């Protein structure tokens, strides 16, 4: 097992009817900016619950943060933060609203020239404006981690940021919120969380027995609950396990002491930036090709995953490893997720070269757990995914 530090300061308040607990978490004298997305919270009753809980608090609102949180829109919110002397942010939404709020937490205290530099220059936020979250969509894990991904339509970029100052102070996880989520977003959430685990697991063995089993248990749970969540989102047992699995998939725990990859995400973000494809779907497009292309590096873990997750015990290491990639793709397909770029756009020619060029320009010359995935190799992987 590799050496590691681990600190996760986010307080999780999990369970039925917990949204009302917000009021105990926010200082009474705070000037709060309540941030939300396109309005789903006004239809499903979450907005009402939040407003009731905040009845005695000074609250300003900012809605309209789009899926793939847009820089220009967030800059409008930053103006509100400055004009209204906001001291505390509250994100009510999925990964997009939470990530947008993290950007604002960083930008509110940033004294550089332009907040976009936080993303392009990789400026870590040591201390941001405090914020809490009410999670409405299990998927990203953003509710318990310190990362964010921000989109800029003007330049068709989607870039990551983070730092120890960007953990939410608290996050409210009421699994009942999933009842109003459209099926498309439920399957996105399952796929995103599943791939988060794979990014931190599908590398090479380092004798981290417990981390491997943490990771495997999340995969097994997601596979078990997926059909139940889709069939009946009011099934609380399934919903609560779904929500907690998504949070645990990316709150830092399972990546400790093990190598991590994250190339699938890096490439996938480009597909969202270029074509607007939902984040989770870009992962399902890239992951199978990535694992086939890097088969030799990853086959031991692929074979372990084949045995423990998919029950494949026959054949050689190579046979099992290959079968595991097929099973993974079938899992995504069974959720209704297409796994080829050409399923999403007819304009895919040239995409591989474009992504490789962007990675070269950014100096991303060695991705993956061995830092050896060059832009030329990325180009090949993307072509395999056409």
Contact footprint for Zn ion (CB under 5 A): 192
Residue 185 engages ligand NZQ in binding (rule: CB under 6 A)? yes
Distance CA 157, CA 9 (A): 30
Q: What's the CA gap between 274 and 282, in Å, rounded?
A: 11
Could you say whether residue 149 binds ligand NZQ (CB under 6 A)? Answer: yes
40 binds ligand NZQ (CB under 6 A): yes
Instruction: Pick one of ligand NZQ, Zn ion, none as the site partner of residue 187 (Cβ within 5 to 8 A by kind).
Output: none
Token pair in block for residue 384: 């395999």
- State the Cα angle at 353 between 328 and 119, rounded to 5°: 80
| 13, 23, 44, 110: residue in contact with ligand NZQ (rule CB under 6 A) | 44
Q: What is the SS3 assignment for 87?
A: coil
Stretch that binds ligand NZQ, among 8-16, 134-142, 289-297, 364-372 (CB under 6 A): 134-142
Q: Any contact of residue 93 with ligand NZQ (CB under 6 A)? A: yes
Cβ closer to ligand NZQ: 219 or 321?
Answer: 219
Report the nearest approach of Zn ion to the CB of residue 191 (Å): 9
Count of residues binding ligand NZQ (CB under 6 A)?
34
CA 201, CA 218: separation in Å to the nearest integer?
A: 11
**CB closer to ligand NZQ out of 19 and 324:** 19
Tokens for 138, please give them. 């299990």
Answer yes or no whether residue 45 interacts with ligand NZQ by CB under 6 A: no
Site string for ligand NZQ, 52-81 (x = CB under 6 A): ---------------xx-------------
DSSP state of 130: -
Indicate whether 100 belongs to the interface with ligand NZQ (CB under 6 A).
no
Calpha distance 245→141 (Å, rounded): 9
Report if residue 233 touches ligand NZQ, rule: CB under 6 A. no
Task: List binders of ligand NZQ among 262-321 (CB under 6 A).
Answer: 265, 279
Count of CA atoms in the C-beta half-sphere (13 A) of 176: 10
What residue 136 binds from ligand NZQ, Zn ion, none (CB within 5 to 8 A, per partner kind)?
A: ligand NZQ
Give dist(CA 49, CA 41) in Å, integer.
10
Q: What torsion do the CA atoms of 198, 203, 206, 211 make, to the nearest 10 degrees?
A: -10
Task: Please state the closest distance from residue 324 (CB atom) to ligand NZQ, in A.
Answer: 22
Alpha-carbon distances of 142 from 137, 257, 322, rounded to whole Å: 10, 21, 32
Structure tokens at 116: 């976009």
Q: Which residues bind ligand NZQ (CB under 6 A)?
A: 37-41, 44, 67-68, 93-97, 99, 136-137, 139-142, 145, 147-149, 177, 180-181, 185, 188-189, 192, 250, 265, 279
């Amino acid at each position: 097992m590799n050496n590691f530090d681990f600190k996760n300061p986010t307080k999780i308040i999990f369970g039925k009817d917990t949204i009302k607990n917000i009021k105990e978490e926010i200082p009474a004298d705070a000037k709060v900016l309540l941030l939300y997305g396109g309005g789903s919270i006004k239809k499903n009753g979450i907005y009402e619950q939040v407003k009731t809980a905040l009845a005695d608090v000074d609250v300003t609102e900012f809605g309209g943060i789009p899926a793939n949180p847009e820089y220009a829109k967030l800059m409008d919110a930053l103006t509100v933060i400055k004009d209204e002397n906001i001291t505390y942010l509250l994100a009510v939404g999925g990964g997009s609203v939470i990530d947008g709020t993290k950007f604002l937490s960083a930008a509110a205290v940033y004294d550089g020239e332009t907040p976009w530099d936080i993303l392009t220059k990789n400026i870590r936020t040591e201390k941001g404006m405090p914020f809490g979250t009410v999670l409405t969509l299990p998927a990203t894990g953003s509710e318990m981690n310190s990362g964010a991904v921000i989109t800029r339509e003007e330049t068709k970029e989607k870039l990551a940021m983070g730092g120890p100052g960007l953990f939410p102070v608290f996050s409210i996880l009421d699994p009942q919120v999933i009842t109003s989520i459209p099926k498309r977003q439920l399957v996105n959430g399952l796929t995103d969380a599943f791939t988060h685990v794979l990014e931190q697991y599908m590398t090479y063995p380092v004798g981290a027995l417990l981390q491997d089993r943490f990771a495997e248990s999340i995969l097994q749970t997601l596979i078990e609950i997926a059909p139940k969540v889709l069939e009946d989102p009011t099934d609380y047992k399934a919903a609560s396990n779904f929500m907690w699995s998504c949070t645990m998939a990316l709150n830092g725990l399972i990546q400790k002491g093990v190598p991590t990859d994250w190339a699938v995400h890096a490439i996938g973000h480009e597909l969202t930036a270029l074509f607007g494809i939902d984040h989770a779907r870009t992962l399902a497009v890239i992951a199978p090709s990535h694992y086939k292309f890097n088969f030799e590096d990853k086959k031991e873990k692929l074979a372990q995953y084949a045995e423990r997750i998919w029950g494949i015990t026959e054949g050689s290491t190579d046979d099992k490893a290959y079968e595991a990639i097929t099973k993974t793709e079938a899992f995504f397909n069974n959720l209704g997720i297409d796994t080829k770029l050409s399923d999403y756009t007819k304009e895919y020619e040239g995409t591989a070269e474009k992504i490789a060029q962007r990675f070269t320009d950014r100096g991303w010359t060695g991705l993956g757990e061995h830092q050896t995935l060059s832009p030329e190799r990325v180009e090949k992987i993307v072509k395999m995914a056409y």
